[in-house]
Amino acid sequence: MSRHRSPEGRHPRTTRPSRREVRSDHGDDARVTRGVRAPAHRSAALFVAVAAVIAVIGGTLSMNGVLGASESDAGVDLASDDLAILPPPPTLPVLEAPEPTEEPTEEPTEEPTSEEAEPTEESEGGEESEAAEESDGPAAAALRKAEKFPAELIDPDNWYLTLPTGEEGSPDTVEGSELDTYDSEYFRLNDSRDGVVFTANAGGVTTENSKYPRSELREMKGSEKASWDGRSGTHVMELDQAITKTPSTKPDVIAGQIHGGDDDVMQIHLSGNELTVKYADGKKDVPLDDAYRLGERFRVKIESSDGQVKVWYNGDLKADLPIFGAQSYFKAGAYVNSNTSKGASSSDEGQVVVYDVNISHSG
C-alpha cells in the first residue's frame, strides 16, 4: 500500500544548506578565518617595518641632535599620540666590540758601541801577550813589538859603542847617527824585544889600555866624550839589567862602571856567583848579592858627588865610598874579564842584558 502525503500535511523542515553550500559556507568560513588571520600577520610585519623605519629616523634625528638640527626638523615630535599607538620597535642585539688586546712589545736592544764591543780573539791574546801586558801594560807591549833596533831602547845621543872586533888596540866603535840603526851579534834586541843584549867573546879585540874585550857603551856629551869631576855636582847612572852569561874559564863580567882618566873608579862586578862593587883597582869590594844567579834582573843606582860614590842595589843603599875621578864618565854593557891567556876559549862569551839605562847630571 502506498501512502500519499499532501503538501499541507507535511511538516515543515528546517532548510539546511546543501552539501555544496555547506562546503561553500565552510569554505567561506575558512576563507574568512584565513582572511582575518592574514591581515593580522601582515599588520604585525608592517608594524615591525614601520618601527624599524622609525628607529632609523630616530637615529638620524639623534645624529641631527648631535650635529645640530635643521629648521625643518624643529616641529617633529617623536612623543606624539600618533606614534604612541605603534608597537615598540624590536630590540636588536647589541654587539660589543672586543676589547683590544695589547700586543707584547719587545724592548729595543741597544747595539753595542765601539767602547762596548765584544772582544775578538785577537784582543784576548795568548798567554804570552797577557804576561807582557801584566808586566808592562798594553801600550808598552805594543811599542816593544814595533822596535827594530837596540838604540830604540836607549838614547844614542848619550853614548858610543865599543865592540870586540877590529884591530888589536883599536876596536871597532859605533857612534852618532850610525848607532840609531846598528845591530849585530854583539849588540842586539833580545827575543822579547824589551832589552839590549851586549855580548863579548874572550878572544875578542881589546882597547889600547886594556887586556879584556868588551861590548860596552861609553858616555858622551853631544859629539864630545863626556868628562866630569866627581868632587863637584851630582852625577847619576841608573841601570835595569841582568847578567845572563859568563865565560866558563874565569867567569868574570863587569856590567857597569865609573871610569876616570886612565883607570876605573868603581865597577859592578860578577865573579862566579858573587855580585860586588869593586874599587881601588879591584883590590876592595862591597857585596851586593853573594848568591847571584845568572839571568836575575836587578836595578842598580850609582851616584858620584862631593868626592863620594854611593851605590843602591834594588833600592837598598849598599855602598858609600870615599872615591872619585877627576875626569869621570859612565860605562854600561858587557866588559868580559877573561881572555885566552887565562885559559878561556876564544869563543867563550860574557853577556849582559840592559833593559833601561838613564844618566843625569846636576850642579
SS (H, E, C) 181-234: HCCECCEEECCCCCCEEEEEECCCCCECCCCCCEEEEEEEECCEECCECCCCCE
User: What's the rounded mean pLDDT across residues 211-219?
Assistant: 97
| CA 357-361-363 angle, 5° bins | 165
% helix, strand, coil for the chain, step of 5: 25, 35, 40
- The number of angstroms, rounded, from the C-alpha of 218 to the middle of its chain's C-alpha atoms is 44
- Separation of first and last alpha carbons in the chain: 193
* 296/292 Cα distance (integer angstroms): 7
Indicate the average pLDDT of the chain.
Answer: 76
* Of 58-62, 221-225, 276-280, minimum mean pLDDT range: 58-62
User: Can you tell me which residue has the cell 858587557?
Assistant: 334
Query: Where is mean pLDDT largest: 37-41, 59-63, 132-136, 255-259?
Result: 255-259
| pLDDT of 155 | 92
Q: What is the pTM of this model?
A: 0.62
